[in-house]
Amino acid sequence: MRVAVLLAVAVLVPLVALVLEHAGNVRISERHHSHHDTYAVPASFTRALVLAMVFMAVLGLVMAWLSWEGALDASLELVLGFTDAFLVTCCALWAALCRYRVSTFDGCMAVTPLVGRRVWIRYAEIDHLEWAGLRNESGFRNLVVHVEGRRPVTLYGIVDIEQLIMSIDRFDLLPRSA
């Protein structure tokens, strides 16, 4: 029974992610609209996560079969448990990244974070911006937004930070050092 559940997870998690990635919203950045721009995690990045899940599932199933046949000196449950842990963690990351987006308007922005409710920030209320974290594929680091002494949101460098800074249009807020 336990092995059947582990096998089902190893097959269904990447299959569901693959179907949702293929059939779902393309998540392209929507720019140059008359009233807003929306920046999202590139589909190529989320697609790569799904392909990593598929690869790991196939590898895990092959290793489970080798364990079943006795060619691998490891427990079948251990192999499938490790594979499933990777798949579930990767799927949670994929779901969070698919959700993340930043929409900019004339006087404010709406940030849908990885987890939680959408946060609205008026540009006039921003105290300052600061760089945080490591550089991302875009070449930028994350940008922490400070409003009234608190940190309501972090703009992740995987979206187009340069365009977001241009949308805010408050160059007095820019961090002094990288």
pLDDT of residue 136: 63
Q: Is 11 exposed, middle or buried (0-12, 13-18, 19+ CB in 10 A)?
A: middle
**Of 99, 116, 134, the domain-final residue:** 99
111 lies in the same domain as 53: no
The predicted structure's pLDDT at residue 165:
84
Tokens 């779901």 sit on residue: 95
Distance CA 64, CA 78 (A): 9
What pLDDT is recorded for position 158? 86
Domain count, the chain: 2
Residue 27: the pLDDT is 53
Strands 150-155 and 142-147: antiparallel
Are residues 68 and 23 part of one domain?
yes
- DSSP secondary structure code for residue 176 in this structure: S
Structure tokens at 173: 């807020």
Considering the domain boundaries, does residue 67 fall inside one? yes
Burial (0-12, 13-18, 19+ Cβ within 10 Å), 117: exposed
- Tokens 């899940």 belong to residue: 53
- pTM as predicted: 0.80
Mark whether 29 and 88 lie in a shared domain.
yes
In the beta sheet, which residues pair with residue 121? 109
Query: Is 6 in contact with 88 (CB distance < 8 Å)?
Result: no
Cα gap 151→126, rounded to integer Å: 10
What are the average pLDDT values for consecutive 10-residue runs of the chain, which has 178 residues? 92 94 65 69 91 97 95 92 97 94 92 94 90 72 89 89 83 66
Rg from Cα positions in the chain: 21
Q: Which range marks the domain in which residue 37 is found? A: 2-99
**Are residue 95 and residue 111 in the same domain, yes or no?**
no
